[in-house]
Every structure is written in structure tokens, then in C-alpha cells.
Structure 1
Amino acid sequence: SFSHTCFHVAPYESYIALAERLNVSTPGDFAKKTMLVTTGAEAVENAVKMARAFTGRSGVIAFSGAFHGRTLLGMALCGKVNPYKKSFGAMPAEVMHAPFPNEFHGVSIAESLSVLENMLRSSIDPERVAAIIVEPVQGEGGFVAAPTEFLQALRKICDTHGMMLIADEVQTGMGRTGKLFAFEHAGVAADLVCMAKGLAGGFPLSAVSGRAEVV
């Protein structure tokens, strides 16, 4: 029996069993589907691809201090130049960054949301934005939790403008914050959830779970 292989080449039962379990476990009162891949960065890239394909838009908004992987799109989404982007040349286009609320850096929730709203007025048409991607707790950014009010505001902004909200739970998922997913502490459901690391305890396995019509 297979444990983890290329599903579209060789479908196997354990893939289906895990996907069904994640469909039930991932927050959100809507039908879900799950795609299994190999790494956290691969999960992030596929979530962005799904959001772009579903919305027909190409822009993506991430946050300062964020870490989303070391592939090219993952690096573009990262909110730090050094050490992640330095020396690698041009990054993929249509990725923008808003400030992440961080009281240690003097950035309030109101200031972060104000800059984000201003970006959507002056820098990019919200109808060109496919998704906002956020870590509910920034890991590489200093172990900074996104405030509940902030995550709830992102959900409202995405709903208002028809954007997908992507939760990068690669580092925070699988019970690491006291709930299965860190987003649950805010009472918010993301459209797409990326997970890896704790999902398989070191086995090269990651997943994207989310709205059935998007995945």
C-alpha cells in the first residue's frame, strides 16, 4: 500500500482518508476539499494558484515580517528581504505587503488596517486582488500573534471585495496553539488553509484545505 505518492498518477486509499479527515477538521461552515502535496511552500504556492484561478485575479497581499517559504513565490510573499530575498534578483510581480500589527514595533491594529485600506484605494484595485495571506501567529517574524480584531477585520475586507483569505498554518496548525488551527482562536474561517510540519511529524507531507468550489 502507498503512504504518499503522486495522487493523480496512482490514487490510493490513505490519501482519501486523510483528505476526508481534514475536510471535517478544518474550520468553516461550508463544503471543503483537500489537496495533499509535499512541503509547506508547495502548499502556499498551490493556495495562491487556487485563489488566482477561482477569482480570475492575480494580486496577493501579504504582511511585513511574514514567512511563507523559500521557493520563488514563497520568497516574494515573505515580509523580509534579509535573509530570505537577498541576492535572488527580481521577485514575482503583483505581491504587495501591508504592515503586520506588532506592538513591539509600535504598529497598532488600527494603523495596520488603515495602511491596508489605503493600499486598496491608492496602490491596487481591490478587484485585482485574488487573496490576502496571513500567518495567525508569525513564526519567523518573532512569534507574534495576530490580534483577534485584526483577523476578523481581514475576513470582512475579503468578504467585501470578493478576495480569498488564506491562512498559512504551516507552523501553527495541528494543535500548536491549543486549538487544531490558530485561526480558531479568532472565531474566523479562512477560505483556504495551508498546513504541513505537525501534520505528519516530519514526513514530507503538506495540505491545502478549503472551500470545495475553490480547491
Structure 2
Amino acid sequence: MESKSRPGSEKTLGQILVDKGIISREQLDRALRVKAEQPGKYLGEILFEMGVPQEKINRALYYFNKRRTIGEILVDQKLITREQLEEALSKQKKIKEKWGHTRPLGLLLIELGYINSRGYLTALSKHFNMPILSMKDYQPNPQLQKVIGERYAMERKIIVLDNSAKTIKLVLAEPSTQIMEELQKAIPPGKVMEFYLAGYGEIDESLRRVADPFSFTQYR
């Protein structure tokens, strides 16, 4: 049976964003010039740095299936070879067949010694279009953490950086479509979410500085 592609899936991300009125042709041309000068950067990263809303870029990446996989990004960035990727994918498939669950590709590549945690973080950043922040020695605001629920924040390793009338800024250690959808449901309609990325250890350590295991509030 022939698979159905989403409307516009044959177009580039830039063309889609122009067609949807999210960016102008001039913005796209400027972003493409930057990309030509910095080939290691993806268009979504550049547009976000130019001020285009992250949420709109990510929605287009997801809906039109333009998001590159973690493996493709690692190969693009020359952090692993195509052969190393195939080896990890084969191991991932065998684990799923034997145990019934999928082990994250990045963690498998770390276990195989092909990348380090920083390389994995870089790939996650490009995959989800999230800038990397350092949370080392950061002290989370307990009141801000309550916006999404302290227990949920600890379990999902999320720090709430800021919560203004129009925007909430969140730092994630292990981003996923599921987590972002859960957060979207918890945030008041109309409020824009901005996502950032930090190392798991840094976020975990920061959260433990302010965590009181006897006063967690339930995530709503």
C-alpha cells in the first residue's frame, strides 16, 4: 500500500515557513546566507536565532516531517560514521526484539564509545531546535517550579527559568514529543513555551538543591 505524505512534505522547511506567512522571503534569504557561511547549522537553528518563534518552527518541522533524526545529525556533524550508526541501529533493533522496548540511540552510541554525553546533547539540541544552556550551580526558583508541579519537574528533569504573562521558558534534560505535549496541556492557552536544553546531571543537581521530598505538589 502506498504511504501518504503530508501536504507540502516535498517542500523545504524554508519554503513552508514562507508559504505559511511565518517568515518573509527576505528573512529566508538572510538565513540561507548564514547557513552558507556556517554549514554545520540547520535552518531552524538560524531562524530561531533571528527571532522566529521556536514553537512555529518546531510545528512545521513536526507536521511536515522535516526533523532530522538523531543518527542523521550525528553523521552530519561528523561525530560518528555511517557504519557506527548502522551498528547502533542494529543493536537497538535486537534490544527491542528481545526485551520489547527501545533504548535511546544516543545512549547506545555512548555505551559503544562512539560519542560522549556532550556530543549527544549537541545532537538533541539540533534535533529539537533547542539552544543549550549551562545549569551548573544554577539555583531554581521553587515558586516557578510549582507552575508545572514540583514532582513532575523532578521526575522529568525540567527547570522553569521564567514565567511571564506571555511566555514560559523551560530547560529540559530529556526532551520528547510526549513531554512537550504534556507541558502544553498544563500551560494556560495562548502562552508561548520556549524550550532550552541542558545536561541531565546539571539539571538533576540543580533540582536536588531545592527539592523537599515531603512537599512535592502533584502535576495537574
Q: Same fold judged by TM-score > 0.5? A: no
TM-score normalized by structure 2?
0.26
- Greater percentage in strand: 1
With the length of structure 1 as denominator, give the TM-score of the two structures.
Answer: 0.27
Q: Which structure has more helix as a fraction of its residues?
A: 2
Higher Rg of the two aligned structures: 2
Q: Which has the higher contact order (CA 8 A, sep 6+)?
A: 1
